Structure 1
């Protein structure tokens, strides 16, 4: 992906987040290529669970957002769309504050199925969460 396409894709994804859960959680896309997508999310009280650490659901939202959008940017949306069918998320380390960075990469990029892994890390590079996600690739009109 050339630099102009990268900038355009990031701008499009960030603009599309308006009035979505991604905007509510302050998810911002920061890097993209044909095979990976990266975004950040601040860890503040609005994503905490009652014990003052990031809620596992917030990790899942970031992971699923990245996995879905990685598939989305790799499809001709006039022909097919990604539909999430499975997510498996492992919460490995607690975090109370700061910024987490999630990066989705393809494990398999097929014609009918995309499988991605998403790693969420803290600012020190510690692995906070590891998620795998499956998207079925469905012809437009069949959803």
Structure 2
């Protein structure tokens, strides 16, 4: 989600007009429109005010933080995986080594998938900034 989309979505969720937000921030309505339509990007001090006004993370908007729902999904995914594989380990004492290797292997594969997604996002962000120069 782009910065403009985040601003517009949060403004609409709060029931605010562009005029209201412009008055609140001390800018013109056209400035708000330009931000929301990705013609311009708000300065950091405006992003900070917007994040405080609407309760979103400044770091998440500029790409420095993973949204918390993704963190919760990761914890849930790995937690369930470890629980299931632990239950499998308890079912058969003969196959303990096999299940241990299986657990480590599956966790490692999931870790690699998550890391590759993270790297792809960062490369896409970097390429986008390179094109703006």
TM-score by length of 2: 0.30
Larger Rg belongs to? 2
Structure with the larger RCO, 1 or 2 (CA within 8 Å, 6+ apart): 1
Q: Which has the higher helix share?
A: 2
TM-score by length of 1: 0.28
